[in-house]
């Protein structure tokens, strides 16, 4: 699968060095810009664009800029600290929720492709997977997308010995791979098999590996750590719908704020009442008896819009994962 273009917000140290100029934190700390402004009263120069630590482009006077080589490592650390802090805090005043309409899923797998591209996952890794389901021999098969359920009572966070996985104030469960030690206790603790282990080195260029780690995007990926669905926390911060929700062509996904009782369909853009959608369509969550309180709801596969057609579980543009050979010699 082709990787999508990386945005400037990834904060590569090489990008900073290649530009040679960044704006000083001392003069404009309030806007979160990186590097150092030259002091003193100077004549105005031409306007140039520089990038803030949150990925925004702003115009500044070129006379206020100076080479960034001396400050680059410090700025890298500041950007990492800022991302770690905001990533753990989350977005106050929100509680995110997802609704998946099983009657609309055609197994297009555009959701999977968008997610894998954004989070730079290997072909065999899935933050969201589309399963082929059949409740009994007497019922018709159907497709079921399965992300992390971002439970309100998540057992996975309780077993982590280093506080690498945690639940934010907006309901999202994340993983800090700068703290993760790869013990896999959280994988054992999750009753929904929503987590994956990074067994191999990610397929990244040397430049991509040097990017500042973003806890809300979980890139760059790191061997020996855990990965999972993030509810696209990086996009929510920008007021955008998750990658999977926006990529679906068939109206399968609704996403929104439970506190506002509003969810938006990623295909049609229609916003509806969350509580009414669940009540009127017999919505449910997986294994409610466990008391985990999942925040991903399903609408049953009644009045299906597309006929079931058994297909490969792999994306067409991706190779099947290589099987390791175990020699007995």
d(CA 280, CA 127): 29
Query: Across the chain, how many H-helices and E-strands are there?
Result: 10, 15
In order along its 329 residues, the chain shows pLDDT tens digits of 444 454 444 444 444 334 433 333 333 333 333 344 444 444 566 787 766 655 567 787 766 655 544 444 557 778 888 999 999 999 999 999 999 999 999 999 999 999 999 999 988 899 999 999 998 888 889 999 999 999 999 999 999 999 999 999 999 999 999 999 999 999 999 999 999 999 998 888 888 888 889 999 999 999 999 999 999 999 999 999 999 999 999 999 999 999 999 999 999 999 999 999 999 999 999 999 999 999 999 999 988 877 777 664 444 444 444 444 444 44
Q: β-pairing, 66-67 with 21-22?
A: antiparallel
d(CA 226, CA 217): 13
d(CA 104, CA 91): 30
Q: Which CATH architecture has domain 90-299?
A: 2-Layer Sandwich (3.30)
Domain boundaries, given as residue ranges, for the chain: 8-88, 90-299
Query: What was the pLDDT predicted at 63?
Result: 66
d(CA 22, CA 36): 7
Query: What was the pLDDT predicted at 33?
Result: 39
Query: What was the pLDDT predicted at 315?
Result: 43
d(CA 314, CA 34): 42
Query: What was the pLDDT predicted at 329?
Result: 41
d(CA 263, CA 256): 4
Cβ atoms 199, 85 nearer than 8 A: no
d(CA 256, CA 270): 11
Query: What was the pLDDT predicted at 174?
Result: 98
Q: How many Cα atoms occupy the beta-carbon half-sphere of 320 within 13 Å?
A: 4
d(CA 19, CA 229): 33
């Amino acid at each position: 699968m082709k990787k999508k273009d990386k945005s400037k917000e990834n904060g590569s140290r090489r990008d900073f060095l290649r530009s040679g100029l960044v704006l000083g934190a001392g003069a404009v700390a309030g806007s979160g810009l990186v590097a150092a402004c030259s002091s003193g009263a100077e004549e105005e120069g031409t306007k140039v664009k520089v990038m803030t630590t949150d990925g925004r482009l702003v115009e500044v006077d070129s006379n206020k800029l100076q080479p960034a080589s001396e400050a680059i490592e410090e700025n890298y650390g500041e950007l990492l600290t800022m991302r770690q802090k905001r990533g753990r805090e989350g977005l106050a005043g929100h509680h995110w929720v997802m609704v998946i309409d099983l009657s609309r899923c055609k197994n297009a797998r555009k959701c999977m492709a968008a997610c894998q591209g954004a989070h730079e996952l290997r072909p065999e890794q899935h933050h969201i997977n589309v399963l082929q389901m059949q409740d009994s021999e007497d019922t018709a098969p159907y497709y079921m997308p399965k992300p992390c359920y971002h439970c309100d009572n998540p057992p996975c966070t309780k077993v982590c010995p280093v506080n690498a996985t945690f639940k934010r104030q907006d309901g999202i469960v994340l993983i800090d791979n700068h703290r993760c030690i790869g013990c896999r206790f959280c994988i054992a603790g999750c009753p929904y098999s929503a987590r994956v282990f990074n067994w191999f080195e990610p397929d990244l260029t040397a430049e991509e590996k040097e990017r500042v780690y973003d806890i809300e995007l979980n890139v760059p990926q790191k061997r020996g750590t855990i990965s999972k669905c993030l509810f696209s926390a990086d996009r929510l911060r920008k007021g955008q719908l998750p990658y999977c929700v926006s990529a679906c062509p068939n109206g399968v996904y609704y996403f929104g704020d439970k506190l506002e009782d509003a969810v938006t369909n990623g295909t049609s853009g229609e916003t509806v009442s969350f509580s009414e959608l669940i009540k009127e369509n017999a919505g449910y969550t997986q294994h409610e008896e466990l008391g985990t309180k999942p925040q991903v709801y399903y609408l049953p596969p009644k009045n299906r819009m597309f006929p079931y057609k058994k297909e490969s579980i792999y994306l067409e543009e991706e190779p099947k994962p290589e099987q390791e050979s175990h020699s007995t010699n």
